Structure 1
Amino acid sequence: MADMSPLFRRKAAPAAVAADGATGPRERLVTLIGKPGCHLCDDAQEVVDKVCGELGVPWERKDITEDKDLHDQYWEQIPVVLVDGEQHTFWRVDEARLRKELTE
């Protein structure tokens, strides 16, 4: 079972290519919202950790049991994945879809 203790993890962001062909760092952030004891959250964490680790994208985990606003907004959808603060998916995290989102 995945370790639920790390609430926040960061890794270096990869260089990205802009539409005009210029390269440079593109700061991305993936947020996994869940709660302890949630098997879908554990599954989602494995996918997020794998994809973000391979791409060098920073990610964080937020616990709805420690944040009333997150609980009120997402309790029926956990796990929820945000990319750059925008909801990407919920319940099941598709590895290919997350990878595509982070590389485009």
Structure 2
Amino acid sequence: MSSDSPPHYDARIVIYTRQGCHCCESAEAIVRKFVSDITLVDIDSDSELTQKFNTSVPVVEINGKVRFRGKVSPMLLERTLKAEARQVAGPAS
């Protein structure tokens, strides 16, 4: 049986957002197609994060590394998640 849904990946995802941000909502929807466990952080709840990411949201962090700012490309996201999965798995035997 074939499925058109993309595979899910096991990765630590943090999306830095702010309320009322349409781009942030779009980024979350795209990421949720590939990863179910996502942490959302409202940058306006922390002055340091507001200063760091003010005009860059959404910011998507994958396994501790910032990978996207502003817009998330589904194709690039999937490639990044695949590469992260290979790094975690280690070299093939």
TM bracket (short chain) = 0.7 to 0.9
Query: For 1:20-57, what per-residue CA distance to the aligned partner results, in whole angstroms no more than 9, with x for missing partners?
Result: xxxxxxxx21111010101111111111111213xxxx
Between the aligned partners of 1:75 and 1:40, the Cα distance in structure 2 is: 13
Q: What's 1:86 paired with?
A: 65
Identity %: 24
Q: What's 2:47 paired with?
A: 68
Structure 1: tracts of 5 or more residues without a match: 1-12, 15-27
Under a length normalisation based on structure 2, what TM-score does the superposition of the two structures give? Answer: 0.73
The one of 51, 56, 59 equivalent to 2:38 is 59
Tell me how many residue pairs correspond in the alignment: 76
Under a length normalisation based on structure 1, what TM-score does the superposition of the two structures give? Answer: 0.66
- SS in structure 1 of the partner of residue 71 of structure 2: coil
Please tell me the residue identity of whatever aligns with 2:68. T
Please tell me whether residue 39 in structure 1 is matched to residue 39 in structure 2.
no
- SS in structure 1 of the partner of residue 20 of structure 2: coil
Q: What's 1:25 paired with?
A: none
Between the aligned partners of 1:36 and 1:83, the Cα distance in structure 2 is: 21
| Bigger helix share | 2
Q: What's 1:30 paired with?
A: 13
| Bigger strand share | 1
- Moved >3 Å (runs of 4+): none
Between the aligned partners of 1:59 and 1:102, the Cα distance in structure 2 is: 14
Q: What's 2:90 paired with?
A: none
Q: What's 2:77 paired with?
A: 98
